[in-house]
Structure 1
Amino acid sequence: MLFVDKYRPRTLEQFQLHADVADNLRKLVVSGDCPHTLFYGPAGAGKKTLILALLREIYGAGVEKLKVECKPWKIELPSRKLEVEFATVSSAYHVEMNPSDVGNNDRYVVQEIIKEMAKSRPVGIDGQRGFKVLVLNEVDRLSKEAQHSLRRTMEKYSAACRLVLCCNNVSKVIEPVRSRCLCIRVAAPSLQQIEEQLGRVAASEKLSLPPPLASRLAAGCDRNLRRALLSLEACRVQQYPFTDDQQVAAPDWELYIQEIAGDVLREQTPKQLFVVRGKLYELLVNCIPPEIVLRKLCLALMPKLDDELRHSTAQDAAFYEHRLQEGSKAIFHLEAFLARFMSNYKQYMISLGL
């Protein structure tokens, strides 16, 4: 079992990074008040772990008896019949799903799932919690239509179904949805907290972790605890006993983005843009989020540019990231950003006489 799963807190009492948030959630459950909840914060901060611990606090160990289903849904619309198929993770008390996977049909899927859950209420442990919980991941990736339809559905079925929403960027969730939820911010852990957690995991595994290596693991994970634990396990597989100067291997997709940045800096031609397009497709096919690809590309290019180009590159990256959120084909906007950068870079080099 991976360290990430082996040392994941199972209950709210076991939380150390977000002890104050966990205590408030426990008080909420004890009081019997369980409103719609919105957890937001950066990746690897512990949102999903908090949600699972909250469900266990409400319903007990029964929420860990999970089943994964991938079944087709037939939704009757006024003008047509919609058939979609997607995966859900469910127990007797809750359903977890990612509605953004179905694209523009997300609003119909969310409504249908909530209606289905409202038909059968679970028998609560104490006979009072007669509602199911629907966990929606990546709510910030839902279309605006889906979020607006969610607003009305939250009110209509609140007696039989409570929603737990999870997202990275709360600014992409519309205000009417946020106002109907208890918003809980899950902050990214500090570098010191990550080092302490790595030390605890290493001690539990009877590993000797040198402080310099722990510092590099914490500094290279971008305050993402999940990534830090995965890097620690990768270092153990690579070499053990650990050494002070042991290298921390970067993920393959990050190295690939570094390679793309080197390609566009080396040559600015249509042929090179065609080659880079194929590499961008490969990243997207391997499920690397396009927003992360664009951000990492910009960060990889910045250190190799003069001050005159850094401002325009950051401005272009912000422009195309906004277009990326509004558009439907990520490859168009990623390629447009690189094409704009290559054009600006070539003109700048010509102006210098190089």
Structure 2
Amino acid sequence: MAQKNEIPALIGATLAVAALLGGLWWIFKKSDFSIGNFKPETPTVQASAPIAATTPDANSSAPSQPGMRPGMQGATGGGTASAGRFAGMKDVPSGQFNYGGSTSWAPTRSSLDASIQSDLPQFQLRYVSPNSGPASSGSGVKMLLNRQLDFAQTSRPLTNQEKQQAQQAGISLQEIAVALDGVAVAVNPSLNIPGLTLAQLQEIYTGKATNWQQVGGPNLPIVPISRNVGSGGTVDLFIDSVLSGQSFSSSVQFVGTTTQALQKLGSEPGGVYFASAPEVVPQCTVKPLAIGQTAGQFVPPYQEPIVPKDQCPARRTQLNAQTLGNGTYPLTRNLYVVVRQDVSSKAGEAYANLLLSSAGQEMLEKAGFVKIR
């Protein structure tokens, strides 16, 4: 009897399973789902945008890189232009040689010096900063006298005091001119003034002229800016050549670096500042001025016209090598390699000869200086 009851139950279970399988088949048939078309979701990784190559400028908060100035070619551009051109130079010693000095030389350290290193790997150049205080012509000569450097880079001739110190130490120094540099004056781009005479510059920085109206500009207070006294050859030259040895006025605002000065100048409508021409002329946030010996006869250190701010840095105002080189622009000075007259002089003399070669002069010109050969 029990066996008879199990048969109908088994038949019912079989029919239920068949119905279930049939239903599942119908669902798969009607739907779009298929194992072959199923793709697990994979997270999408967005590629990072390439970092744009930028040129250090006055409105950058990053510290200045030695050797980089707006509008100048960097190590890659300069090195490519003269690849192999220093390789055949004679009387180049082997070894590692220390050098340092004026910040005006900065653009050569990432372009020209890099090319020398590439073409003459046995002539190893090592830039050395002073232990205390900023790098300058004066600190370079001091380190040379203390035998911390094999040669120094300066933006002014040796002073009588430096010559006396060398003599007292039994050292003979030689200065070798390798290029010409200009000192440019810059103002805020909004300031409407055609130029300044050297006499007007003196009045501004000695406190005799305190409003731009006094020197041909608008009714606006003058804010003179300078690097610290004793910070380098550019300030020394300005004191000697423009101020005739007079002291700066108490109204002059002093800063530690040209980068700081240009940042301040860009936000100060009445500001004025002076520095090495390659540091000033190509900048986007300031306006270089024409300078003259007499009123109305201003000479620009730049190629006219000045590039408008809204077109910079795609285009930059360029230095005027002609006015800087022919003496019509009134504020110029030589750049020197200074060497000790001893065994170490071979390195400095070789370096100077490399800079005075056709390849060296070409690269100095690309760095913003005026070649002398």
Which structure has greater helix proportion?
1
Q: Do the two structures share a fold, i.e. TM-score over 0.5?
A: no
| TM-score, length basis structure 1 | 0.28
